[in-house]
Amino acid sequence: MIKYLGSKRKLLGPIAAVFADLAPGTRVLDLFSGTSRVSQALKQQGLYVCSNDHNLYAHTIARCYIEADAQSVLPDITEILKELETTKPEPGWFTRTYCEEARFFHPDNGAIIEGMRNRIDKLDLAEPIRSIVLVALMEAADRVDSTTGLQMAYLKKWAARAHKPLQLRVPEMLNGTGSATCLDAIVAAKEFSGSAAYLDPPYNQHSYRSNYHIWETLIRWDQPEVYGVARKRIDCKTEKSDFNSRRRILSAFSDTIDSLNVDRIVVSFNNEGYLHRDEIEKILSTRGSVHTVELDHKRYVGAQIGIHNQSGKKVGAVSHLRNKELLFVVGQGAAQTAQAARSVQTNV
């Protein structure tokens, strides 16, 4: 799994607990699926999960882990990855942009990534096999990157892992099927028919397209115009989410909630985000009485490392290292399932 800001990896216990009473096969929407960690936990609980994310790299992850049925594709995947391992390095646009103009990957690995990615297109694979192979490559590249987990910047000195050779691994997929869409949240909310929805939107100005622009390019393979030290895709300037806008997030959130025709809504939000707890509770209260669960959580990696100036010198102290993740539950069974979430011990 790739390193991902806002991944709910460490909060899966309480989040899954809020859906634990639903019958097997119940349709559940994960509207902002990211790494698909939450979708995977729900799929493992026997639910039929529909994962949505508007970024193509996240959609590709959802096709791999949620849409695909492990047992029907594993033999093919293993064969294809074995064959891909024999690919020769092909240094070109990707290597120049992300390994020479910027230093996100060691050039030796960059050229291998580039060769493999070219080969994947030549293989002309059917879905979801293609997505699974792309995820295997993305995860392999993530294991040898030279960042702190965001692609806004790369490390001044190569990370130790950047010197390791790139190695493909078969993604740890799950048995069973689900579905995946790549839509704006409000469209996906309108189109969904099912029983419950989980919403984990961005909570501040930091755009996922910008934070993970190389994954978007690796999947699209479109050699976009790039800008700045981080060589970001030019469309990072225009492809903005309403949830990253202080001015628009409230109405985007409210419209999304209005668009959902489900019995239960569960929302994750951070106590340092653009929306305040009482604003979220007010919007959700149109659907019933709202039960809010507080989960103590470690802050993002930048806060753990501290504040540094451009030459890498530590220049300030971070005020606090932990914050609260809030889980809001509303609708059928909300009181009991929120209680179930509270009683799950988080280890964060």
Ligand X SMILES: C[S@@+](CC[C@H](N)C(=O)[O-])C[C@H]1O[C@@H](n2cnc3c(N)ncnc32)[C@H](O)[C@@H]1O
In the complex, what is the shortest distance from the CB of residue 285 to ligand X, in angstroms, rounded to a whole number? 23
Give the residue with the Cβ less far from ligand X, 33 or 147: 33
Rounded Cα gap, residues 291 and 145, in angstroms: 40
In the complex, what is the shortest distance from the CB of residue 33 to ligand X, in angstroms, rounded to a whole number? 6
Q: Residues 260, 263, 269, CA angle at the centre, nearest 5°? A: 65
Give the residue with the Cβ less far from ligand X, 9 or 164: 9
Element (H, E) at 336: helix 334-343
Which are the contacts of 257, defined by CB distance < 8 A and separation ≥ 6? Answer: 265, 283, 284, 286, 287
- Rounded to the nearest 10 degrees, the angle between the axes of helix 70-84 and helix 129-143 is 60
Give the residue with the Cβ less far from ligand X, 96 or 220: 220
Kindly state whether residue 266 participates in binding ligand X, applying the rule CB under 6 A: no
DSSP state of 345: P
Give the residue with the Cβ less far from ligand X, 6 or 171: 6
In the complex, what is the shortest distance from the CB of residue 79 to ligand X, in angstroms, rounded to a whole number? 29
Q: How many chain residues touch ligand X (CB under 6 A)?
A: 23
In the complex, what is the shortest distance from the CB of residue 214 to ligand X, in angstroms, rounded to a whole number? 14
Give the residue with the Cβ less far from ligand X, 35 or 146: 35
Q: Which of 103, 114, 217 is nearest to 163 (CA)?
A: 103
In the complex, what is the shortest distance from the CB of residue 314 to ligand X, in angstroms, rounded to a whole number? 28
Structure tokens at 240: 């903005």
Give the residue with the Cβ less far from ligand X, 118 or 179: 179
Place of tokens 């103009």: 101
Amino acid symbol at 225: E
Rounded Cα gap, residues 88 and 78, in angstroms: 19
Kindly state whether residue 60 participates in binding ligand X, applying the rule CB under 6 A: no
Structure tokens at 234: 């030019």
In the complex, what is the shortest distance from the CB of residue 200 to ligand X, in angstroms, rounded to a whole number? 4
Q: Which of 105, 192, 208, 215 binds ligand X (CB under 6 A)?
A: 208
Kindly state whether residue 152 participates in binding ligand X, applying the rule CB under 6 A: no
Kindly state whether residue 37 participates in binding ligand X, applying the rule CB under 6 A: yes
Q: Which of 8, 117, 119, 264 binds ligand X (CB under 6 A)?
A: 8
Kindly state whether residue 55 participates in binding ligand X, applying the rule CB under 6 A: yes
Give the residue with the Cβ less far from ligand X, 123 or 234: 234
Which are the contacts of 168, defined by CB distance < 8 A and separation ≥ 6? Answer: 81, 84, 85, 116, 136, 137, 140
In the complex, what is the shortest distance from the CB of residue 127 to ligand X, in angstroms, rounded to a whole number? 20
Give the residue with the Cβ less far from ligand X, 3 or 96: 3
In the complex, what is the shortest distance from the CB of residue 221 to ligand X, in angstroms, rounded to a whole number? 19
In the complex, what is the shortest distance from the CB of residue 38 to ligand X, in angstroms, rounded to a whole number? 5
Rounded Cα gap, residues 294 and 127, in angstroms: 40
Rounded Cα gap, residues 222 and 65, in angstroms: 24
Rounded Cα gap, residues 184 and 242, in angstroms: 10
Q: Which of 34, 176, 178, 273 binds ligand X (CB under 6 A)?
A: 34
Q: Which of 284, 278, 264 is nearest to 338 (CA)?
A: 264
Kindly state whether residue 145 participates in binding ligand X, applying the rule CB under 6 A: no
Whole-angstrom distance between the N-terminal and C-terminal Cα of the chain?
18
Please list the residues that pair with 118 across neighbouring strands: none
Kindly state whether residue 133 participates in binding ligand X, applying the rule CB under 6 A: no
The interface with ligand X within residues 153-192 (CB under 6 A) comprises 184-185
Binding footprint of ligand X on the chain (CB under 6 A): 4, 6-8, 32-35, 37-38, 53-55, 58, 184-185, 200-202, 208, 241-243
